[in-house]
Structure 1
Amino acid sequence: MTIRVVQWTVGRVAGSAVRAVLAHPGLELVGCFVWSPEKAGKDVGDLCGLPPLGVTATGDFDEIVGLRPDVVLYMPLIWNVDDMVRLLEAGINVISTANFITGRSYGDLDMQRLNDAAVRGGVSLYGTGINPGLASAVGLTAAAACREIERISIWEAADCTGYESAETWTDLGFGSPPDTPGLAEKARERQLVFLDAVEMMADALRIELDEVRYTPQYGVATKDLDLGYMRIPKGTVCGLDGVWQGIVGGKPVIELGLRWRLGNAMEPDWPINEGYVMEIRGVPNARLRFELDHESSGEIASSTAHPAVNAIPAVVSARPGLVSVHELPLITAGSVRTGS
């Protein structure tokens, strides 16, 4: 049976999601929600740089519900818990890339609201992306090679200069003096979804954490940087090297490290070996490197969108409520090209 899909918003990640839905033989794009009145009434293909698809975007929430989709790919820059609750209560599964893994980063109250709404609607809510999301799933899968685990670590490194979102970087403290009061807390709050990921991994490994710690370090611009979409003055933050640690008995059992930089003039001049390294201390030890060839697709956003699209069949079949990756069956590519 074909699964009916609605795309929520048409930004860069959402545009990649639309392409993936069209390529998946088990999915049908039946609608699209947009915030902008200028986009409402337009063909989704036109909005995503594709040929016309015969699917019209709308800003009418009730119209989306009236389409009776099986699932909404929820991909706004800023999430709205009330909207998510309405979708779930209407019996529509929701898969989100909007800073969502377990929902705890939204606050315990909203996490409970979302779970309750999904249970009432008899549907599932799932969060993913590339990191957090798929990177954690790859690390957990690698851990299956081990009899015992002392520590599992995932290290991300990326030159993010091409990620043209001034709002994101400003929220993380980029462009601010490194001694700005509250800078570390600001970065922590903007990255709370990684706390979700640490807790999700602990749950998958069946361990109870004593606490989750976040420790950031900053790189500072050695000259004025003009990135086109934002300016970073000399002496202000242009790099962030932070680590989230799940602690048991005073020792880290789970580590998620994030090394991001903007521009080519920073002190300290951290090397950026693009991609992810998963390290598992245990019996036996394991180490793997996970790289994504963004040049082949031309879209960095695709690596965030595709784990969500490919998870659709598993999520639609899952139990009602909030679900995590370790509760789902193996998720793999939904569209495979064969022949010449």
Structure 2
Amino acid sequence: MTRLRVVVIGTGNIGGIAVRCLQGRDDVELVGVWGRSRNIGTDAGLLDTDQACGVIITDSEEDIFALRPDCAVMALNIRDPIEAVRVNGEWHVKLLEQGINVVTASDGSLVFPPSHPEQDYVARLEAAGIKGGATFYANGQEPGFVDHMAMLATTLSNTIKCITSYELFNYSMVQERAEMADIFGFDELPEKQAILEQPGAQLYVWGGPLINVADKLGYKVERFEELYEKRVAERDIKVAFGTIEKGKVAAIRIRTSAIIEGREAVVVEHVNRMCDDIAPEWRKADTHGCMRIEIEGDPNIALECTIGDRRKPEELGYDGYLMTVTRIVNAIPYVCAAPPGLTSFRELPLTTPSSALRSDAVSIDHKILRPGG
């Protein structure tokens, strides 16, 4: 079997884990890694493990394109959403126009391209793919897998009143304060507005999944509603990035709803805490983290996916990244075989992994997540 040649663009947590997950497979081969950090000139295998893989990280775009890869895993870590669209978009167009397929978890709004708020950008990617004969695919844990799980659950339904996708996570093991503070508002005074509190921010992240599920069921969303609540710590709380002082935000509840036929019909709700006993009136998982689908209807349905080993809660953050990576790495052979342009999980076959039962499948030691990676 001729293996597909794959490059990784980015050397943060997603990129490092992607390098590890591309090892040992029968159908793909890592041939290059591009970065823009202190890792230039080092072996890419050392990003996430202590084992070299023989691929040296470069900061030369020319070197990456000269490899003539079949597919690129786009994994740049850019927190500013406007800058992310600009930088990722430039890479996406160049890759697609040169016939290189692209898989990414960097823009959740492209999981279901018709739902993206910037359709001119979608059209540009589609045109680039057609021109180069290449395919673009976005997915991840959420958006992505959770949408897929919700659709799967509806196959058990006769009639549906409301579908709610829950993310119930204890985030106390996250090591990077900036991400928790800027995006969610954790470890800030309650009057400070987080990114996800800003009007329309939730829709940019979760509008796509809501539209995706509604569209699959044959409905159009009439309007959206956004809710953001927060609770402050009643004592100092030790977390992985330091201490959240009494009076600062330690729990949030985010609820984004699609209104169909005058009622909440499809909902995404996140309840995230920094300790288990805060905000007891909100939904809570039995483990450090889970994704849960609940359907109120005929019949009532609950489907839950827990994450990681409950005996090792410190692994939760890493496992979340890992699940995001596998949703795109496992899809590479299917994306490379798909028609040119943009595709989604609704068009692809089930993206099961290759060589998954090999002997090293559960024996690889990985590095702890790197702040700012």
Structure-1-length-normalised TM-score: 0.89
Distance 2:359 2:43 in 1: 32
1:51 counterpart = 2:58:
no
1:216 counterpart = 2:228:
yes
Report if aligned partners of 1:175, 1:236 keep a CA contact under 8 Å in 2: yes
1:284 counterpart = 2:299:
yes
Distance 2:129 2:56 in 1: 27
Distance 2:285 2:14 in 1: 23
Distance 2:40 2:358 in 1: 37
Report if aligned partners of 1:221, 1:267 keep a CA contact under 8 Å in 2: no
Letter matched to residue 13 of structure 1: I
Show structure 2 runs of 5+ residues with no match: 79-83, 361-373
Secondary structure class of the residue paired with 1:327: coil
Letter matched to residue 267 of structure 2: E
Q: Compute the displacement of 1:110 (Å).
A: 2.9
- 1:334 maps to which of 354, 357, 362: 354
Distance 1:105 1:234 in 2: 39
Letter matched to residue 305 of structure 1: V
Q: What's 2:124 paired with? A: 113
Q: Compute the displacement of 1:228 (Å).
A: 4.8
Q: Compute the displacement of 1:25 (Å).
A: 1.6
Report if aligned partners of 1:23, 1:335 keep a CA contact under 8 Å in 2: yes
Distance 2:171 2:230 in 1: 15
Letter matched to residue 148 of structure 2: A
Q: What's 2:327 paired with? A: 307
Q: What's 1:195 paired with? A: 207
Letter matched to residue 186 of structure 2: F
Distance 2:280 2:299 in 1: 34
Distance 2:121 2:281 in 1: 40
Q: Compute the displacement of 1:184 (Å).
A: 5.7
Moved more, 221-230 or 9-18: 221-230
CA distances 1:9-68 after superposition (whole Å, capped 9, x unpaired): 2222222222221132211111111111x3222211133324222211111112111111
Letter matched to residue 306 of structure 1: T
Letter matched to residue 10 of structure 2: T
Q: What's 2:185 paired with? A: 173
Secondary structure class of the residue paired with 1:234: coil
Moved more, 122-131 or 294-303: 294-303
Letter matched to residue 274 of structure 2: L
Secondary structure class of the residue paired with 1:326: coil
Secondary structure class of the residue paired with 1:19: helix
CA distances 1:209-245 after superposition (whole Å, capped 9, x unpaired): 1123221111212234453535534322222111121
Distance 2:178 2:167 in 1: 21
Letter matched to residue 134 of structure 2: V
Count of aligned residue pairs for this structure pair: 339
Pairwise CA RMSD of aligned residues?
2.7
Q: Compute the displacement of 1:253 (Å).
A: 1.9
* Structure 1 stretches of 4+ moved >6 Å: none
Moved more, 268-277 or 314-323: 268-277
Moved more, 219-228 or 314-323: 219-228
Moved more, 9-18 or 249-258: 9-18
Q: Percent identity?
A: 27
Secondary structure class of the residue paired with 2:218: coil
1:293 counterpart = 2:308:
yes
Structure-2-length-normalised TM-score: 0.81
Q: What's 1:159 paired with? A: 170
Q: Compute the displacement of 1:316 (Å).
A: 1.4
Distance 1:226 1:188 in 2: 32
Distance 1:134 1:107 in 2: 22
CA distances 1:93-123 after superposition (whole Å, capped 9, x unpaired): 1111113224666744433333332232222
Q: What's 1:250 paired with? A: 262
Secondary structure class of the residue paired with 1:240: strand
Moved more, 103-112 or 91-100: 103-112
1:232 counterpart = 2:244:
yes
CA distances 1:162-191 after superposition (whole Å, capped 9, x unpaired): 122222212222233323467763385277
Letter matched to residue 263 of structure 2: K
- 1:125 maps to which of 106, 119, 136: 136
- Mark the CA change 1:149 to 1:240 in structure 2 (over 3 Å): closer, same or farther: same
Distance 2:49 2:177 in 1: 23
Distance 1:5 1:311 in 2: 12
